Amino acid sequence: MGSVEVASFPKPPALQDPPSDGFYNETQWEVLMALMDAAIPSIVSHSAMTDKFNQISIPDGRFQSNFKKIQDTMVEPPDLESFQAFLKDKPSDLPAFRHHAIRTLSTVSDKMRQELGGVLSLLSTKAGAFILTGHCVPFHQQPAHVRESILQGWRTSWFSKIRVLAKSVSTIAQLGWIQTAPIFRQVSGYPDVPVGWKAGPHFEYSFLQFPGSASPEAVELETDIVIVGSGCGGAVCAKVLAEAGHRVLVVDKGYYFPPTALPMPQEAGARYLYENQGFVNSADSSIVAVAGSTWGGGGTVNWSVSLQTQGYVRREWAEEKGLSFFATQAFQDSLDRVCEFMGVRDDNVRQSHRGQVVLDGSKKLGWHAKPLPQNSGGSEHYCGHCHLGCGSSDKQGPAVSWLPAAARAGAEFLEGFQVDKVLFDKSRKATGVVGKWTSRDGNGSVSGSLDQRTRRHVTIKAKKVIVACGSLWSPIVLLKSGLKNRHIGRNLHLHPWGIITSYCSSFENIDGHGHGTKLEATCMVPYAVLANFPCPSGLDFKLSAMRYRHFDAFISLTRDRDSGSVHLDPKGERPILDYTPSAFDRAHSLEGVIGLCKLLYITGAVEIRAFLPGVEPFIRKDASTPTSSINEQVTRSDKAMEELDLGISDPAFMAWLDHVRAVGNAPPTAIFISAHQMGTCRMSSHQGDGVVDAKGSVWGTKDLYVADASVFPSASGVNPMVTTMAIADWIARGVVRDLKT
């Protein structure tokens, strides 16, 4: 381990300059910013209004009552001046917001960007505005209160594409404002850095480097095993194979960030640590996937949850899928081995307030719940910022534990290397990979433009190739390599959740075949929660965001029975995600949402939001008492306690739950998010049923393996990290045996 630089705050990389905004003309941008200001409008009291076109006024009495409610229900509430500034702020006031919008829109598919551009052009004309808004005035020429009313109308349109448009506009606006508005951080109190931050020890990686060259000739390397991907699968393979004495080269398109750079601020973390700079939208916008794309992969940004594959899932894979090794002691040994290496424990977990809510509420309702084990090496790890990278090095992810162990055994590493395809000889034997390497900039950072960085084509010759770049990219690498197996990219499972140290498992087997949902606390990084916040108005959103420090967020994580797919975009450059949560799986997710609502009610929540468009929050009659701290509640009035004692038989609450069920969670407007992608290179016992065999070897090839979550036969039902690592351990040990023969 290397020495730690003494610093009081992390030093993350600066954001890259935004790309060109030329994909839209100035009129289109004007309309877009008018839409952003409609989603998050400038709100003032009637007597303070100075701009009738750009501001929305509310009666002075209502303004004062909202201020009083904030004063009564928040600990350390904002003063009147800050309250006014918070409500008055709007996206178009912030230069950083437009830069954020440019970066965000540059990451969506050409098709989506062109479709939105077409809508913006329509809205800029009288005829187009009439079609989409019912008014003959171009949208951007309407005053703010009319624009907000139009957006509200879109949310309940008969036409699904209009509802999706409203959802997309709101998400872009909320995401950008939460990440770029200084007033949000000031009033909400959200810290970019955990309290008491101190950078942990780091490993001194030595990445391969290549000089610049005017020649198009590729750099050529040679090794025993090249592993494509440094995440949970690739890192375990690297350690096992390097310690067995083989030459190992691990390559990844992502870059390494030391503990001194972590956690990153919200926008930088999304841009540098995640696939597609934060989010991968499904083709129909019904779900958003979040996937790590940095050195260490998803293991760098996951929340440390370390659950072993459950028995009923292992039996399904062994008995129904014909993969008998999942039911053996040998696979259990792999599970135990990876957990022991990372120091996985559940007896040293410090519960957050929301984690304790899950435990206490489940106990009151007679449901089964327990703390979730963490891969924190025995440390009490509770920073709450792991979503943006762990600066303490307590979390024993791939970059902290597995890859350093591989390096000590002789493994080599190459960051910034995008693999294009696997190379084969005439007998379909894998002989290596080819791709493009992009260096860091002259300052050793990744924020410089491409013209400040060296780019080289690289060919790596190897005896064996292990593809471990995740369920979004592993099938893409195989497809670009010319493989024709019809199962490549199919069988995509996402564990869709609608809005982690504790969980409730009483809903995990609703259908009697292992399909259901787990109720969990989720991370509280603001953009991860507020960027998909369904609200009836801009005022409701702002008042809710203002009280963010008093939020507890939870998820209903569904083990999905039905699947989607991943395929290449028309340019052949990146994955397109085709996935719509099925009615079967949505029903389980909704049962979990109902369960969460009951759990929150019984533990005394004063306001409950189901995060479903069209569902107003449930608010207790006496909801004026603030929370004094994360683990302590101010004593409620006798009347409030009597209401709480009604339990889940409270007529008002039960009527609200009936409304939640009636509204439902049908796509595309319901909010679904995925942090777990699995199954796109499915393991099978017969060649016609999957992509790899029980050893991880790709059917129809030689010396080519896949070792990541994409080989799961079906959804794991739990955080896939430990399952992925155990399967990688199993596959890597098989490769060691093959190399001996």
Query: Which sequence positions are flagged as catalytic?
Result: 676
In order, the DSSP letters of 390-405 are -SS--S--IIIIIHHH
What are the residues facing 44 on neighbouring strands?
57
* Euclidean distance between CA atoms 184 and 180, whole angstroms: 8
Sole residue written with tokens 């006031």: 93
The answer to whether 283 and 112 have CB atoms below 8 angstroms apart is: no
Report the first-to-last Cα separation within the chain, whole angstroms.
36
The answer to whether 376 and 254 have CB atoms below 8 angstroms apart is: no
The packing angle between helices 126-133 and 110-123, to 10°, is 110
The answer to whether 695 and 734 have CB atoms below 8 angstroms apart is: yes
For 361, counting Cβ atoms within 10 Å of its Cβ (0-12 exposed, 13-18 middle, 19+ buried), the class is: buried
Tokens of 644: 């709480």
* Euclidean distance between CA atoms 534 and 609, whole angstroms: 9
Rg (CA), the chain: 26
Q: Which backbone phi and psi does 686 adopt, to 5 degrees?
A: -130, 145
* Euclidean distance between CA atoms 658 and 646, whole angstroms: 17
* Euclidean distance between CA atoms 128 and 135, whole angstroms: 9
With b for 16 or more beta-carbon neighbours within 10 A and e for fewer, the 78-103 pattern comes to beeeebbebbbbbbbebebbbbbbbb
